[in-house]
Structure 1
Amino acid sequence: MALDRWIALVLLGVCLIYGYTAWFTMDADLAPFMRRNPIWPSTFPKVLSVLGAVAALVILLGLEGPQKPPKAGDIDYRRLGDYKIGQAALLLGLMVGYALLLRPAGFLVSTTSFLILGSVILGERNWPVMIGVAVVATGAIWYLVQEVLGIFLRPLPMFMGV
């Protein structure tokens, strides 16, 4: 089986699990007044799970139409070693680390560190610009979420007591 069909099979499994969660478990704890609403919190996940499952089935069953020859810029799964898989894996690891450190390290520290390390992984070496952009972007996002939207984000690490 081709790589695209294996990926479609994995995505179909993810969509089925996501759909089961959306259809059967998300709405169990709804307040009584919300049960009469036409749109529930699970409406968008239900739509996503159905559309994702249909798209995965189209690819899995080969219904997407005739195959076109690959173009010069297309990814060739037979040459995956030629691509920068290490950079992609490092970025994925950095994203996981960011998610794990967001609460204990605080938004400002973890987001600034994520942006700086991510740009280093991608090859940026202009340190003043890199640090400046990371600090300004992190501060602007924190201000918009905290002050404008009113959503609390722990700005500093937990041991600082904020």
Structure 2
Amino acid sequence: MATESKKTLVATVDLSTLKVEVVNSVKFKCIEDCGRCCYELEIPLRDEDIEAIEELGYNAWEFVDYEKMFYRGDKFLSYAIKKRPFDDGCVFLDPETKRCRIYQKRPLACRLYPFVFVKHGTKMEIYIKEDPFCPGINHPEGEPVDENFLLREYGELFEEYRRKLMEGE
């Protein structure tokens, strides 16, 4: 298991206006064929993630690790994605190419990494989890994590939270 990493606040998003305020400048570039996060992280699966992967033709028993569970306090949140016994990589990571076999339907936790989103009322705080194993964090060729980056990569997610906010959750 990876050592505890530092989290740095990168930006806040006002969910009612989708205005992004950058707090700390950070650069990020997902390095092709890296796959280190697929080995190092335990990935929680939401019900929506399981359904999306099942739509690809997989059965939940093939990819859900029913022995690894995530909790917040005493509230059960989810199960983890299975790891391969021979190298501890995610079951969907191709061991040859280091590419995800379900990239278009990968779980939300995979889509967000290395970012962590924390909602406080109408504000969403965006942190970067500075894991030492991730070579893409502050990579010299990395893209600035600014309003353009955040809205392009996570705009749909912000819109989803905004809708819930407007509906009164």
Higher strand share: 2
TM-score by length of 1: 0.23
TM-score normalised over the length of structure 2:
0.22
Please state which structure has a larger fraction of its residues in helix: 1
